[in-house]
Structure 1
Amino acid sequence: MIKKFSTLIAIAILCLSTTACGNGGTVNSEAALASGTKNIANPAENIFSSGQPSRDEFAALAELGVKHIVNLRPQPEQDWDEAAYVSSLGMQYHSIPVADAGDITPANAQKLKQTLQSIGADPALVHCASGNRVGALIALQHGLESGNVDAAIAEGKRWGLTRLEPVVRDALTK
């Protein structure tokens, strides 16, 4: 309870000290990064990647102006109805189930790319349990487009890639 309260106070202070807190499509990155969300990063303008947010963290992100949630966790990993909760906060929910390394595929990387393109400039959060699958799909897509494996891995790491790096490298060097 104290952590939740202190996180919300920190976000409120950051919002009051800037003009970009949930105002028409721009999210205060400092406030979002202070939300307490596991492994949160801001790898692209108005796009955040993270591990699984709590209900309180989703609420804080909605207050900051995040409009879209892209969840890469499959339903069996969830023990609550994230889609309904996110929708109740006024955010749009998108699901691309990525269960394990076998789902780090060009098709899923393309689905994530298309989802982010459809969201456009609206603020969004892409998450899985830790951020690793987010980074893996981003790295795979980047590598498929650029042909540069090392640059793809570096980009994936900005988005949360960790232990799935060998899977991405393997997929890009076949």
Structure 2
Amino acid sequence: MYRASLKKISNAIPKFKIAAVAAPVLLVATAIYTLAPSNSSVATGPAKTFANITIKNFGQMDDHFYRGAQPNDNEYKELADLGVKVIIDLRDDPMPFAKSAAETAKMRYVNIPMSDKDYPKNETIDEFLKIANEEGSWPFYVHCAGGRHRTGLMGAMYRFNHDGWDYNKAYQEMKNYDFYTRWGHGEIKKYVDDYWQNFQTKNTGPHSASVSVKATS
């Protein structure tokens, strides 16, 4: 009886050893898989790794697309040093120095004016996507006043058309860049939702600017 019991114990030891070794390895592997991003070029919130950039709410969405708040007069050079070729200013009240500061820093300046409280025109979306899809414009920097609402809307348009994201993922990214609907900004969220619904209905492909959204009354 004692020999039988000892045999059972001795047979069990290797299994315990294997389990003891395998468990930490499994935990490490699981942790690596969990922490690894699905696409290393995608950032879904403001970046904290650009030591030479002082622009508020600054972030990089991919290799082509930087975004953030209104740069001050001196911060355009920071963008030029980063390699930015085109400034896309979404403000309907652009700063007086914006165009000259961008051009002094050897960057192309494009103003696509839009409201931060109303539906944009379809032509506005088309113009933005056209520039965003031009290789000669890469990389570009998109901004409004705070980099939240108009920039967030255009970021969602880019995600739908360029990256194939769905509404929930795109809207979460908007919130990561401090988007909010209070103080009259709810129409921006409604537009993004309406655009996504039309985008799905028309089954448009990547890099398409053919989705039309009518303003609500």
Q: TM-score, normalised by structure 2?
A: 0.55
Inter-CA distance 122–58: structure 2 relative to 1 (3 Å threshold): same
Contact (CA 8 Å) 2:102, 2:109: kept in 1 or not?
yes
Identify which of 171, 190, 193 aligns with 1:169.
Answer: 193
**Deviations 1:94-137, CA, capped at 9 Å, x for gaps:** 11111233243443222211111124462211110111211112
RMSD: 3.0
Q: Which entry has the higher C-alpha Rg, 1 or 2?
A: 2
Q: CA deviation at 1:38?
A: 1.3
Other-structure match for 1:125 = 141
Letter in 1 for 2:146: S
Q: CA deviation at 1:142?
A: 4.4
Q: CA deviation at 1:93?
A: 0.8
Query: Which whole-Å CA distance do the structure 2 matches of 1:143 and 1:55 have between them?
Result: 32
Other-structure match for 1:97 = 113
Letter in 2 for 1:135: G
Identify which of 46, 51, 66 aligns with 1:48.
Answer: 66
Inter-CA distance 158–86: structure 2 relative to 1 (3 Å threshold): same
Identify which of 58, 75, 83 aligns with 1:57.
Answer: 75
How many residue pairs are counted as aligned between the two chains? 144
Q: What is the identity percentage for the equivalent residue pairs of Structure 1 and Structure 2?
A: 24
Q: TM-score, normalised by structure 1?
A: 0.66
Query: Which whole-Å CA distance do the structure 1 matches of 2:135 and 2:191 have between them?
Result: 28
Other-structure match for 1:110 = 126
Q: CA deviation at 1:47?
A: 1.8
What secondary structure is seen at the aligned counterpart in 2 of 1:102?
coil
Other-structure match for 1:20 = none
Inter-CA distance 52–158: structure 2 relative to 1 (3 Å threshold): same
Q: CA deviation at 1:138?
A: 2.9
Query: Which whole-Å CA distance do the structure 2 matches of 1:112 and 1:158 have between them?
Result: 22
Higher helix proportion: 1
Gaps of 5+ in 1: 1-28
What secondary structure is seen at the aligned counterpart in 1 of 2:74?
helix
Higher RCO (CA-CA < 8 Å; seq separation 6+): 1
